[in-house]
Structure 1
Amino acid sequence: MVELEKCLYRCVNCGWEKTLNTGFYAHCPKCKHILVISYEELETKNLKSTLPGIWRYSSFLPEFRVKPSLGEGGTPVRRGKKLEKKLGLAKLFLKDETKNPTGAFTDRGAALITAFSLHNSFQSITSITGGNIAASLATYCAAFGVEFTAIFRAPVDLEKLYMITACGGYVTSDPKNSRGFIVKPSNPFLVEGYKTISFEIHEYSKRLPDVIIAPVGHGSLTYALWKGFEELGEVGLITRKPFLVGVEVGKTRTAEDGATEEKKCSFISSELSVPQPAWRNALKEIVSKGEACLINVSDEEVVEGLRLLAAFEGLLVETASATAVSGLIKALNNGIIRKNQSIMLVVTGSGLKNPRTFIRILEKRFIDTCENELNRPSRISIEILNMLSEGSLHGYKIWKKLYTKGYNITLQAVYYHLKRLEEIGLIRRIVTRPRKTYVITRDGLEFLKNIL
């Protein structure tokens, strides 16, 4: 392990440094930018030890008194032969992070966060996010006797909320309830945990892949992969780094011409719907070096990625994981990478943690099938038209009325029906505060008259 006196907080913007044994810094005190952990010297070429979990790579991690582990890390790398053949690739590998204790790569970061908290005698941890990071932290806090609070913001991922409350965590939407060690997506110890994926890829591979593709939410995973390979190069264990492709869901790039725009929110991937990625400046640095690139994919492309991983590799993954497949296809089509290169996808999380997304996707496909085959609105759409023929309604009220009539349908699906009916001119939307209401058009009334 690296002694804390030789571990430094370092600002990615101005270069400010401070040793880890002086406490915790959430951001650079000089310029307010993000901090990373750097080491005065990585003296050893021995990559692994006999310690459990990610602590087997202790020679590349800070030395904490307690090394909490639930068996995170050690996830398999396997050949994706069927998908490889489907896409006409030379070699495709899958780094399967769904095998972590909570089914996501974030367990690696949770182990480091918990270690730092216990080392500094924090009695509680608060996560300013309600996604996989919070679910992982809740699990580790429960196992190692630390109180946990999660600050949830919309949209709420119910499956993660259930995991947190089951582990005894406290859930709130009010940041004033934060207690103890505050963990934001910009926390540098998350990156230190995630970088162990790079160590495992090096350890398990006879030859490093040419390209590694990973999802981008806040960007910590992509940066961590780069940092891990950078440190392996510093001690002479590798002579080249894989090219990294980070995949976002939305309209704009995190790093493009030095500017950052807000990303469009995703319908199906709440984990990646991040308006302002915390690690954007760090990503800009490695993109500018030509060692990585960022590409954007649509919700429709993500759904196709989900289908391909399930149908060809038997992997039911979270939507965030599926972006790696979507990004692979787009990078090939855009000439960013080549089919004769060896490529690895980082599969970040299990789909069993987010079944509601699959329900929404299947509902949408069922609606599309019904309407396309019949070339007319579905039974539920006709029911909505009947309701609106009696007066204007907002979406939530329509959903409640459908529910009382015995239709087991999500609110999201109701809005999809409304959108389709509006597109074909049978209803129109009226924007009134605080809600949007819908009214039936003359064409809608005529349609009802003809079918009833």
Structure 2
Amino acid sequence: MYRLCWDCGARTDDDRQVRCDCGEPLWLESDPEAVPDAWPPTVETMWNLVPYLGLGAPTVPSGIASGAGGTPLLRTERLDPAGSPRLHVKPEGLNPTGSFKDRGTAFGVAWMLEQGEQRIGTVSHGNMAASVAAHAAASGLDCTVLVPADIAEERLAAIAAYGPRLLRADGDYGKLYVESLTVGRETGVRFLNSDAPLRVAGQATTALEALAQFAARESGATPDALVMPVSSGGHASGAWQAVRTLDAAGIIDEPPRLYFVQAAACAPIAEAFARGDDTVTPVDGGETVAYSIANANPPSGNRALAAARATSGAVCAVDDDAILEAKRRFAVKAGLTVEPASATTLAALDQLVESGSLSRDDDVALIATGRGFGGGSGTAESEQVTLDELGRVLRRSR
């Protein structure tokens, strides 16, 4: 599978390359002509949808990776505020470890197993860390998770339950993304980070499923919009890749508008959108209840920005009070317990309606990305390292 730069169009067959020489992230090259004609497909797991990415799909692995995706698209009438669009919710918390991250992890693990690779890693202290550690355990892969040195003990324990090598990194945690890619290439650890091409491809199935499920329910129609939280920009990139591929293949006539939402305390992509900028400027992010999307320097921020504009969508930000109220409404009106990041989608609704972006005649799919970071009972054994020591530690056998 070739990697393609979304921005400059550069192409490479280096399966270890994550970013283009121009600095922008790569994604797997889709072939619209390879997309099946039959639409919509039956949605059982994400693997039913992978062929619609126009990629050479890996063999479906056994274990929890085989069960990723297949979350429903729920019509939630009681969640509709007065005068709002018709809302549909996709509860990604029903994935094996409780978040959409399982889609990207499952695709990456399947590809690794097919290639005979045995060492996987990620830089995360939340849902992605738990997802990678769990899938590694189920697949017999050696797993390394890099977390910040000051990680909360309960979060460390939740990841430790799956038995990965946990490395608490001193220094600038934001630099670990780049450092892990360099050290991973040197040590044979494939870091399946937030916007790695394999992860983006797997996470593209969220949007594919939502479109297929809506089409099955509404006689082939397409929802007017998808609304989803954005952090690194990897999930947003996957949604754009899905929409672009289906559009190029002639599967959908009216691509949905893509709306991305950030927490106001840390909203570099939303701020760039509001300024009319083409590039995202890092910010000094503040604290927010939606900690899982508080990414002050999103590696795929420019791609998410481009995705919103290319689909006539938008990027907006909501404050913590609105997020907490939306989280409550998800529970009491729809019976759904979601993490604060997921609640940003509902919190943004009034803003999008008032701006004219959405109307009461629209069908809108809210992507509830996870049920939150669950507890764990594992013993939180970890090792503290500096960035300079990382390569040495990863070369050492477990």
- Say yes or no: TM over 0.5: yes
8 Å CA contact 2:129, 2:159 repeated in 1: yes
**2:241 aligned residue:** 227
How far residue 41 of structure 1 moved from its aligned partner, in angstroms, is: 4.5
1:342 to 338, 363, 374: 363
2:16 to 24, 34, 37: 24
SS for the counterpart of 2:136 is: helix
How far residue 42 of structure 1 moved from its aligned partner, in angstroms, is: 3.1
**2:172 aligned residue:** none
SS for the counterpart of 2:163 is: coil
1:245 to 246, 259, 265: 259
In 1, the alpha carbon distance for the partners of 2:10 and 2:60 equals: 28
**1:54 aligned residue:** 46
**1:394 aligned residue:** none
**1:99 aligned residue:** 94
2:123 to 120, 128, 133: 128
**Unaligned runs of at least 5 residues, structure 1:** 1-6, 356-452
Letter of the structure 1 residue corresponding to residue 288 of structure 2: F
In 1, the alpha carbon distance for the partners of 2:157 and 2:261 equals: 28
SS for the counterpart of 1:353 is: coil
The verdict on how the C-alpha distance between 1:88 and 1:297 changes in structure 2, with shifts beyond 3 A counting, is same
In 2, the alpha carbon distance for the partners of 1:155 and 1:239 equals: 49
**2:345 aligned residue:** 324
Of the two structures, which has the highest relative contact order with CA contacts closer than 8 Å and spacing of 6 or more? 2
In 2, the alpha carbon distance for the partners of 1:139 and 1:67 equals: 14
In 2, the alpha carbon distance for the partners of 1:352 and 1:117 equals: 26
**2:379 aligned residue:** none
Letter of the structure 1 residue corresponding to residue 337 of structure 2: L
In 1, the alpha carbon distance for the partners of 2:307 and 2:360 equals: 24
In 2, the alpha carbon distance for the partners of 1:286 and 1:15 equals: 15
In 1, the alpha carbon distance for the partners of 2:39 and 2:203 equals: 16
The verdict on how the C-alpha distance between 1:141 and 1:48 changes in structure 2, with shifts beyond 3 A counting, is farther
Letter of the structure 2 residue corresponding to residue 8 of structure 1: Y
In 2, the alpha carbon distance for the partners of 1:153 and 1:237 equals: 43
The verdict on how the C-alpha distance between 1:338 and 1:47 changes in structure 2, with shifts beyond 3 A counting, is closer
**2:280 aligned residue:** 260
Aligned residue pairs, count: 345
Letter of the structure 1 residue corresponding to residue 22 of structure 2: C
Trace 1:194-205 onto structure 2 (pairs within 5 A). Answer: 194-205=203-214
How far residue 148 of structure 1 moved from its aligned partner, in angstroms, is: 1.1
**1:211 aligned residue:** 225
8 Å CA contact 2:278, 2:306 repeated in 1: no
Indicate the structure (1 or 2) with the bigger Cα radius of gyration. 1
How far residue 158 of structure 1 moved from its aligned partner, in angstroms, is: 5.0
Give the TM-score normalised by the residue count of structure 1. Answer: 0.70
**Unaligned runs of at least 5 residues, structure 2:** 170-175, 377-398
1:170 to 165, 177, 187: 165
Letter of the structure 2 residue corresponding to residue 302 of structure 1: I
How far residue 50 of structure 1 moved from its aligned partner, in angstroms, is: 8.7
In 1, the alpha carbon distance for the partners of 2:287 and 2:84 equals: 29
SS for the counterpart of 2:260 is: strand
**1:431 aligned residue:** none
In 2, the alpha carbon distance for the partners of 1:127 and 1:66 equals: 21
2:191 to 166, 173, 182: 182
In 2, the alpha carbon distance for the partners of 1:124 and 1:41 equals: 32
Show CA shifts across 1:270-301 (max 9, x none).
21110111111212322343532100111111
The verdict on how the C-alpha distance between 1:182 and 1:117 changes in structure 2, with shifts beyond 3 A counting, is same
SS for the counterpart of 1:173 is: strand
Give the TM-score normalised by the residue count of structure 2. Answer: 0.79
8 Å CA contact 1:253, 1:294 repeated in 2: no
Superposed CA RMSD in Å reads 2.5
How far residue 261 of structure 1 moved from its aligned partner, in angstroms, is: 2.9
